[in-house]
Amino acid sequence: MAADLRYTTADVDFLYTHFLEPEPDRPRVDNLHIRLVNPSKKEVLAAIAQAGQWLETHREHDDWDGGGLHFNYAGHGTEDQGTLVLNPGFLHVNEFLESICSVASRVSSPGRLRISAVLDSCHSGAWVIRLLHECFHGRADLLVPFNLFASCMPDEFASEDSLLGHGIFTYSLSVQQSALGAYGAIGVLPDNSHGPSLALAAGERGCSLLTAGSQNPVTYWNGAGHLEVSQSGFSIVLEDNQVLTEDQMLEQLLRKRDQVRSVMQAARPDLSVRTGMSDDEMRRSIKQTLEFITNSRSGTPRTRLRGQTP
């Protein structure tokens, strides 16, 4: 059930270019961009250290606010805590935090280092929950959680499909409304060009729809202070001074996920909404939702889970 490196590489290519775009309300700022393909843990930690060295060169600027680091990952995640599977090695969220805090302790004064992360990997919600808890409590003097995205809940698998050539979460993230009407949109294709899609496939909610509620992304938005399941209105409001353990956050998210699945069940009565859909069920769900794409391309689609290595 291992991920196909072709699709995870395509995911990183898309995420890399997607987040290079400047925010609409501000011009492009001075950034450093590092892209790794199939890296070892040593290479990932070295890249974080390199980013820290670059940030240090900016800390004396008059408008320095502590800086920020954005981390994208597509690939395997382990079933225990969503630990990232590298080649070779594993990157546990605690090791990531240690490396980030080492950077923050050198560069963040007088502000704090902003952390954003996008993970398209199995069980990645566990990774984000742990990161968020530590940012609020254990390391609140160094880190600010900014925008965090996990492709699925801690007990869920992330999926990819050969029809799309991407992870389903990454594909949904790519979908943008077009001028084709209420239903028309464009989404990323396997070669990272763009083609037709459906507006209902867009975003975290679209990922839930495509998978009939078996893969529900988790997001945290700094501006709103919300930890959300599938951008569906089911959210936990988090404040800096709110003491929620990881278990409490998970418990509340699981309740919200059940609400999401109730909505999905109403929208997709033809499929059983649960964790761990079979490949055939997942493929049928995607095919039905994006039927016009299926009809427009040749080849047999294959859905697979981004589980542990074989």
Q: Is residue 310 in a domain?
A: no
Q: What is the pLDDT of residue 274?
A: 61
Please identify which residue in the block is written with the tokens 């991407």.
166
> In the predicted model, what is the mean pLDDT of residues 270-285?
63
Q: Is residue 58 in a domain?
A: yes
Q: Is residue 301 in a domain?
A: yes
Q: What are phi and psi of 193, to 5 degrees?
A: -80, 180
Q: Is residue 185 in a domain?
A: yes
Q: Is residue 195 in a domain?
A: yes
**Band of pLDDT at residue 101, cut at 50, 70 and 90:** very high
User: What's the rounded Cα separation, in Å, for the pair 111 and 294?
Assistant: 49
Question: How much is the pTM?
Answer: 0.85
Q: Is residue 299 in a domain?
A: yes
What is the domain count for the chain?
A: 1
pLDDT tens-place string over residues 103-154: 999 888 767 899 999 999 999 999 999 998 888 887 878 888 888 999 999 9
Higher pLDDT, 20 or 233: 20
The radius of gyration of the chain from alpha carbons, rounded to an integer in Å, stands at: 19
Q: Is residue 23 in a domain?
A: yes
Q: Are strands 113-120 and 68-74 parallel, antiparallel or unpaired?
A: parallel
pLDDT tens-place string over residues 225-246: 678 887 666 667 665 556 678 8
Please identify which residue in the block is written with the tokens 């395509």.
10
Higher pLDDT, 256 or 283: 256
Q: Which amino acid is at 155?
A: D
Domain span at 196: 5-305
Q: Is residue 199 in a domain?
A: yes
Q: Angle 99-121-156 (CA atoms, 0-180°, nearest 5)?
A: 120
> In the predicted model, what is the mean pLDDT of residues 46-61?
91
